[in-house]
Chains A and B, each alone.
Chain A
Amino acid sequence: MKYRVDFVPYSETNDLTDDEKIRYILSKVMRNTILVLENGLTPTEEMNLISKTMVKINFNDFVGLRFFSFDGGTDFKLNKLFGRGSKNKVFTVVAPNEAVTVQKDKRGILSIRIND
């Protein structure tokens, strides 16, 4: 399986409604794209993404996704690095579940290994 990584600028998703943004993400992720969204998700959008993902799972070629949100901040405190609060995150990574092994360590570094 071939996977693609898209870095999506703020301008691409900024004008979308919450639902449109979730639909945009799901349609891409379901077509084997890993997204790095400059316009990160809010916690409400994250929950919405989980609910909508559950509806889309077909137990065959799509069994869900994984995502990670990052908060901004200059100090390397854990609470800055792990998406917190109700604002939009600085960026969010969304990947198809089967595509990748994703690990976030305590320094906040997100490692994505793309499976072949």
Chain B
Amino acid sequence: MSWRLWLKSKPKSVNLGFYGEVNAGKTTLANKIGLDWAEQEVGIVSEIPHETRDIQKLEKVNFSANGTKLDLTLIDMPGIATSVNPKEFMKHGLSASEAMQRAKEATRGIIEAIKYLEQVDVALVIIDASKSPFDQVNFTIIGNLEHQKKPFILVPNKIDLIEADVRLVRDAFSQYPVVPVSAIQGDGIDELYDKIAELAKRVRR
């Protein structure tokens, strides 16, 4: 095979970043994608906010959808927040010192996640569809992705919950690609895979 052909048949490598508010289900979705394509999870899921405090990567994920083959690196980010209050964690049963430790790690994690944005090729912005989507954090993330010309998909998650209101998210973000999912139950995941394959075509290598 000529090197040209080889280059063409080689799956494109794409850094897929998971961004969003704290607790939106970023890690749950990253795990789902990791299990589907590499039989591996990416990180730990918890109902306690700021569970992910270090960037977690899963490399060499051989992904394929709609005839597009990709060599994905899943990059699960700490959730982005504008405040971190240790008292919040104590409500979840953490001791004062555990809460303080978690809070310190959370602030550092947020800074890391923001820095890493530059290295992401395609971003998934995970939104908890059972909550109001009008949190400033979502708009700030989207504004930065647009500014840096990164392709991204808005992913309203937790659509299995009765409180989930996908229409509200669609209305608020009408000019962007929106693919609702339940990361836990897998609803919408094939549509998401098709969209990832589509946006990956725009990534330059």
Contact = CB atoms under 8 A, between A and B. Distances in A.
Interface stretch (B2-10, B169-177, B179-187): B169-177
B52 to A, nearest CB: 15
Interface string A26-66: 00000000000000001110110111011101010001111
Given A54-B107, A78-B174, A43 B80 contact: no
Contacts of A66: 82-83, 136
Interface string B49-93: 000000000000000000000000000000011111110000000
B85 A64 contact: yes
A47 B111 contact: no
B82 A43 contact: no
Interface string A66-103: 11110000000111001111100000000001000001
Interface stretch (B28-36, B38-46, B139-147, B191-199): B139-147
Contact of B82 (A55, A59, A84, A97): A97
B110 A51 contact: yes
B139 A82 contact: yes
Contact of B111 (A51, A69, A105): A51
Interface residues of B, number: 34
B194 to A, nearest CB: 25
A50 B19 CA distance: 14
A82 B127 CA distance: 16
B134 A106 contact: yes
B139 A53 contact: no
Interface residues of A, number: 33
Contacts of A54: 84, 107-108, 110-111
A78 B139 CA distance: 12
A4 interface: no
A102 to B, nearest CB: 9
Contacts of A64: 81-85
A106 B140 contact: no
Interface of B: 80-86, 100, 103-104, 107-108, 110-111, 114-115, 117, 132, 134, 136-137, 139-140, 142-144, 146-147, 168, 171-175
Interface of A: 42-44, 46-47, 49-51, 53-55, 57, 59, 63-69, 77-79, 82-86, 97, 103-106
Given A44-B144, A97-B82, A106-B171, 7 more contacts: A46-B143, A55-B107, A66-B136, A79-B173, A79-B174, A84-B143, A97-B83
